[in-house]
Amino acid sequence: MTQLINDFHHQHTAHCESGVMSTLLKHYGFNYSEPMLFGLSSALTFAYLPVIKISGMPLIAYRMPPKTIIKNSCKKLNLSLKLQKFSSSENGMKALDIALTNNQLVGLQTSVFWLPYMPQALRFHFNAHNILVYGKSEQNYLISDPVMESPVQCHETDLKKARFAKGALASKGLMYTLELASHSNNIQLVPLIRQAILKNAKQMQAPLPFIGVKGIHLLAKRIHGLKNTSKSDQYKKLYLGHIVRMQEEIGTGGAGFRYMYASFLEEASQHLPLTNKQALLDSSNQMTEVGDNWRKFASRTVKLCRNLNSTGYDEVSQLLNNVAELEKACWQNLVKSIKKISY
Q: pLDDT tens digits for the chain (343 residues)? A: 677 888 899 999 988 999 999 999 999 999 999 999 999 999 999 999 999 887 788 989 888 988 999 999 999 999 989 999 999 999 999 999 999 999 999 999 999 999 999 988 777 778 889 999 999 999 999 999 998 999 999 999 999 999 999 987 889 999 999 987 555 567 889 999 999 999 999 999 999 999 999 999 999 999 999 998 889 999 999 999 989 888 866 555 568 899 999 999 999 999 887 777 898 999 999 999 999 999 999 999 999 999 999 999 999 999 999 999 999 999 999 999 888 776 5
Please state the length of the chain.
343
Phi, psi of 9 (to 5 degrees): -125, 125
- What does the pLDDT read at residue 297? 95
Beta-carbon count within 10 A of 56 CB: 9
- Domains of the chain with CATH codes: 2-31+80-182 (3.90.70), 189-338 (1.20.120)
Statement: the pTM of the whole predicted model exceeds 0.85: yes
Report how far residue 258's alpha carbon sits from residue 35's, in angstroms, rounded to the nearest whole number: 10
Report how far residue 167's alpha carbon sits from residue 162's, in angstroms, rounded to the nearest whole number: 12
Displacement of CA 54 from its chain's centroid (Å): 17
Is residue 254 within 8 Å of residue 15, measured between CB atoms? Answer: no
Which residues, other chains included, contact 40 with Cβ-Cβ below 8 Å and sequence gap of 6+?
A: 32, 72, 73, 76, 77, 192, 193, 196, 264
Which residues, other chains included, contact 70 with Cβ-Cβ below 8 Å and sequence gap of 6+?
A: 17, 20, 21, 81, 83, 107, 130, 176
Which letter, b or e, does each residue of 153-166 get, where b requires 16 or more Cβ atoms within 10 Å of its Cβ?
A: bbeeebbbbbbbbe
Report how far residue 83's alpha carbon sits from residue 97's, in angstroms, rounded to the nearest whole number: 15
Nearest of 29, 25, 58 to residue 41 by alpha carbon: 25
Residue 108 carries which DSSP code?
E
Which residues, other chains included, contact 15 with Cβ-Cβ below 8 Å and sequence gap of 6+?
A: 34, 38, 146, 251, 252, 256, 257, 260
